[in-house]
Structure 1
């Protein structure tokens, strides 16, 4: 949507903060690979070139292509992913179709001299696998080596999640110095064995527990984790704690890659509105309940019919359903700190009008309400489809060649 509004946008906005990493890496000859291109890899590449230029630096920037399948005839021959079976096809035409690419074009670009490789949609492990294949010269048919590289990429793909981020649970799984958590480093050998560690004097922890959690993260079948480059089997993976913050990883096995690749098809959806107001102190729960009833009644009076979910945060909202059946049968503490939170779905005008009523609770609602926050935005509806590998064409282009 950002690219539709501005053809020079659609890449990761944080790329503008890339300079502290960019200059030292270019100077040291360190190759950078990232999927920060998002929906607009060429614009991201131009931004990187501009940032490098502010330091008087230049580098060969490669842009990976092939993930953007919008308008491609292969979509007509694709099949709905089994996980979306039973869902209706959205009525509007797609606004984006992005394929999960593998690592081959990344490898090819590095071998051709790219110092920075910008991708759009790729499978996360490919960001590590591509450089590993380029460095070690692994054969793509050596499925165990490709599996090992894919496993390393999988362990690194969520950054500090393997070094204590999204892991900490005080008193149960303690993580030291989270404010300075260190990002992981993989020391990889030519045979695919690796040691996971992190920079010295940083917070976090890397041990059997953190690595195991990340190993199993988002894997549907440990014996057949499907990626564009290989079918990964982690059932024989061995983790060995070598020293503090050093875990050796071995035992990945591979089978040939699947014949079909997954694509995310994006359609324009309805509008989403989120609005909330807080109540604290004596009898706060009853005031929050009154706010919810008031909004429901005012919507009915105005003839507004958005899809509505109303929660009282702090009173079993995490576990409740859209009808608040659990909250209605639970005795919450009368006094405390509660937030009436509303989610509206529908057309833009209806959603905006519904959110307006939440704002009106300041002076037209229960006593002591405060901290109203309202956000309205269009939604994107996605379906996943499987596209035959032989219909896919990927490659890379150097930025200077594209500008020539």
Structure 2
């Protein structure tokens, strides 16, 4: 094998499905990878699993698999995804059910477990990064702890000829690195190749961001046919160099600029990007434009992987109550500010909600800048009031008080919405990798 073709099927949990189906149908892929899990989405999965032990995986998993499995099975394309979220075993059953519906008897599906380290974290009592205090010093109930597994958790599933691999919390670039290690026989103690493969994975992991989605600005950086943005693929060689492209006829743009932006996305130190597999060094990465929507990448390297793995902690954090309402026309900002004062006063003095628990945003009047600039004179403002409180009943009061502004002033409020949501507070710690053990669970769809 001279090159391996990896396609990006999703860049987050709510991503589009049709570009992935297009890649599966005519991309001539070796692997199609769906990256669907962030710290927020794994927490949401844990919340669903707590309410229903059979839930906790990506809600779009079945829809994604229905869209691609027929094509990938016919083409011999293997699928890797972290859509298992908080429940990879249940997710694998969902994939098997879809495969059976499609008549894909003999399809082999692997669930990778081991990222759930709640017991290990509780026993180790590590320091929580955000607070600097031991885990035991935190009064909130710890309900989840998920370690970032690396590519070494996925390779055994590929070695067992799994057609679809479903994981829980796995580092994003590791989803792409695992097929490269498996195909090319890269050694786990070769940080140069692992760093190069991690760069490939990092560039692909956000799918449409690489082809112009997060790059697009209609004035300074126009991107054609954004409504039909194509997702990228990479042809990777055994030496870690790669050529990135997208399917002909799809929207978007793939050039050295989109690649440079994505390379730096969510990277604090390009010279030391820490993953479970390697501490990647992107400082020497070079991009070359090889043709329309074709970019060559080389120069990434790395040093030895860390001895500890990052762990995402989920604490029960009470309830978030929220209400929104819009004001438009002359003096809309002043009316929205008055409405906010009314709600704040009633939450504090009538319902006993602490003032520092209440967040007010004047959307359309500089809310995104968090007070860094003076608001202008907007034509309309949407008021958002939110509060984190201990009980659901109290959370419901927040939206109720906003909705009550309809008839209790100020004038002209409309489009009120309210909600209350249980909160899982997200924090982080680390565990020695020796305390984390992954396992592969293989099943085959009946013929």
Which band: TM-score by shorter chain?
A: over 0.9
Q: Which residue of 1 aligns with 2:431?
A: 387
Matches within 5 A, 1:90-105: 90-105=138-153
Change (3 A) 1:68 1:336: same
Change (3 A) 1:264 1:200: same
Aligned partners of 2:351, 2:190: CA distance in 1, in Å?
Answer: 64
Aligned partners of 1:35, 1:77: CA distance in 2, in Å?
Answer: 26
Matches within 5 A, 1:61-210: 61-72=109-120, 75-77=122-124, 79-80=126-127, 82=129, 84-85=131-132, 89-210=137-258
Q: CA deviation at 1:90?
A: 3.2
Q: Which residue of 1 aligns with 2:382?
A: 339
| Aligned with residue 368 of structure 2, among 318, 321, 332 | 318
Q: Which residue of 1 aligns with 2:13?
A: none
Preserved contact between residue 308 and residue 432 of structure 2 (Cα < 8 Å): yes
Q: CA deviation at 1:81?
A: 5.5
Aligned partners of 1:79, 1:90: CA distance in 2, in Å?
Answer: 11
Deviations 1:332-371 (A, max 9, x none): 42x6111111111112222211221111111112222110
Deviations 1:2-50 (A, max 9, x none): 1122222100000121201111112222110000000000110000111
Structure 1 runs of 4+ aligned residues shifted over 6 Å read none
Aligned partners of 2:431, 2:157: CA distance in 1, in Å?
Answer: 24
Aligned partners of 2:130, 2:190: CA distance in 1, in Å?
Answer: 30
SS in structure 1 of the partner of residue 118 of structure 2: coil
| Aligned with residue 412 of structure 2, among 361, 368, 384 | 368
Preserved contact between residue 78 and residue 386 of structure 1 (Cα < 8 Å): no
| Aligned with residue 8 of structure 1, among 40, 45, 54 | 54
Which structure's CA Rg is the greater one?
1
Change (3 A) 1:379 1:134: same
Q: Which residue of 2 aligns with 1:308?
A: 358
Matches within 5 A, 1:15-94: 15-18=61-64, 19-58=66-105, 59-72=107-120, 75-77=122-124, 79-80=126-127, 82=129, 84-85=131-132, 89-94=137-142
Preserved contact between residue 194 and residue 248 of structure 1 (Cα < 8 Å): yes
Alpha-carbon RMSD across the aligned residues, in angstroms, is 2.0
Change (3 A) 1:284 1:145: same
Q: TM-score, normalised by structure 2?
A: 0.84
SS in structure 2 of the partner of residue 95 of structure 1: strand
SS in structure 1 of the partner of residue 142 of structure 2: coil
Deviations 1:280-309 (A, max 9, x none): 122322221221122123224414324112
SS in structure 2 of the partner of residue 211 of structure 1: helix
Change (3 A) 1:105 1:252: same
Aligned partners of 1:298, 1:243: CA distance in 2, in Å?
Answer: 62
Preserved contact between residue 123 and residue 227 of structure 1 (Cα < 8 Å): yes
Preserved contact between residue 115 and residue 149 of structure 2 (Cα < 8 Å): yes
Preserved contact between residue 230 and residue 250 of structure 2 (Cα < 8 Å): yes
Change (3 A) 1:20 1:400: closer
Preserved contact between residue 366 and residue 375 of structure 2 (Cα < 8 Å): no
Preserved contact between residue 223 and residue 233 of structure 1 (Cα < 8 Å): yes
Q: TM-score, normalised by structure 1?
A: 0.93
Change (3 A) 1:350 1:83: closer
Report how many aligned residue pairs link the two structures: 394
Q: CA deviation at 1:158?
A: 0.8
- Name stretches of at least 5 consecutive residues in structure 1 with no aligned partner: none
Aligned partners of 1:274, 1:174: CA distance in 2, in Å?
Answer: 36
